[in-house]
Amino acid sequence: MSAEAGAETLVARPRGRATYWLGGDGFFRAVVTACSAVVLLTILAMVVFLLVQGFDAIRHYGFFSFLTSARWAPSEADPNVSSPNPYGILQFIYGTMLTSCIAMVIAVPVAVSVALYITNFAPTRLRRGLSSLVDLLAAVPSVVYGFWGIFALIPALKPIGEFLASTVGKVPVIGVAFSGPFFGYSYFTAGVVLAIMVLPIIAAVCREIFATAPLNWKEAATALGATRWEVAKIAVYRPSRSAIMGASILGLGRALGETIAVTMVIGNSVLAINKSILGQGATMASVIANEFTEATEPFHLQALFVVGFWLLVVALVVNIIARRIVAAAVAL
């Protein structure tokens, strides 16, 4: 075939719709576009199916009665009685919030410090290694953290818990939150385990943000005579505060839904809201893991799906807010 003929083909027969499809180009495009819908459909289906599974219980007891009661007593459930609702989930929401708060109080300052140290202070040769080691904390499986929590962490926390109970626990008003006895399995222990688990997530995002801090700000601060600490504080930490917020909320989202490690160290008490952080309780995630395969009472399994539905809603909201903040901060 001469070059002329080839050129003629190109001009005379621009790639038509048929070639586009038969050549596989359009087909391939359709396939990848279809795949991109999978993630969105999955999230949508999760919301719908959890709601559908819990629907019988919701219709029987009412949508909001789950959120207004802290009494979880499956053995009192009676298919003929619809009030009061024996499946109040308030204490699990409380447990989830409390353990996550403890985790945040510990993990956020530590993670920010670690990220700041790695990006601004550590010897350059060590930075990559230190980052990898912190990331390794995220690689350890949840079940291993829980197991380690029972046998290594609880004995180590025991003196701290007993000390808190015997000192702060005796103070009138705030003492309720630290009152003993401390048996090891507690909101406190769960919070500490969660802190270790979310720390690498927060630290990784912070590291990324700190590493992209504008160099000319650092140079400007240094030129004005700022010390190394002041440079890190003025040119790296302060401009990143909203992004740190986003990173922390991302960690919070992870802490809210963490299941197995929490189930292993929280004590799984479902009797009532326990005001003391040294007491035993349950979270939304832990009660599902703990009771799901043994849910034999009327509406029990459906009620667990209601718990799952609200956990999903909370996780969606928290993650959407966190991603927005982080995305806005990184885009700046």
Nearer to another protein, 43 or 81 (CB): 43
Among 2, 42, 80, 216, binds another protein (CB under 8 A): 42
43 binds another protein per the rule CB under 8 A: yes
Least gap, CB of 46 to another protein (angstroms)? 5
The verdict on 58 binding another protein (CB under 8 A) reads no
183 binds another protein (CB under 8 A): no
- Among positions 136-155, residues that touch another protein (CB under 8 A) are 136-137, 139-148, 150-152
Q: Would you give the binding string for another protein spanning residues 224-263, x where CB under 8 A is met?
A: ---xxxx-------------------x--xx-xxxxx---
Own/partner contacts of 161-169, CB < 8 Å, gap of 24 or more, are: 161/186, 161/188, 161/278, 164/278, 165/278, 169/276, 169/278
Contact between 89 and another protein per CB under 8 A: no
End-to-end C-alpha distance for the chain, whole angstroms? 56
Note whether 196 binds another protein by CB under 8 A: yes
Nearer to another protein, 161 or 253 (CB): 253
Phi, psi of 213 (to 5 degrees): -60, 135
How many Å apart are CA 242 and CA 6, to the nearest integer? 59
| DSSP bridge pairs for 281 | 267
Number of residues interacting with another protein: please give it, by CB under 8 A.
82
> Which CB sits closer to another protein, 109 or 176?
109
124 binds another protein (CB under 8 A): no
Backbone phi, then psi, for 87, in 5-degree steps?
-115, 50
Interface pick for another protein out of 248, 305, 325, 329 (rule CB under 8 A):
305
Contacting residue, 154, 205, 304, 325, with another protein by CB under 8 A: 304
Q: Is the N-terminal amide bond of 172 cis, ω within 30° of 0?
A: no
Please report whether residue 103 would count as binding another protein according to CB under 8 A. no
- Runs of H (alpha helix) within the chain: 3-12, 17-22, 25-61, 90-116, 124-139, 142-148, 154-166, 172-175, 187-211, 215-223, 228-231, 241-257, 260-265, 284-291, 300-331
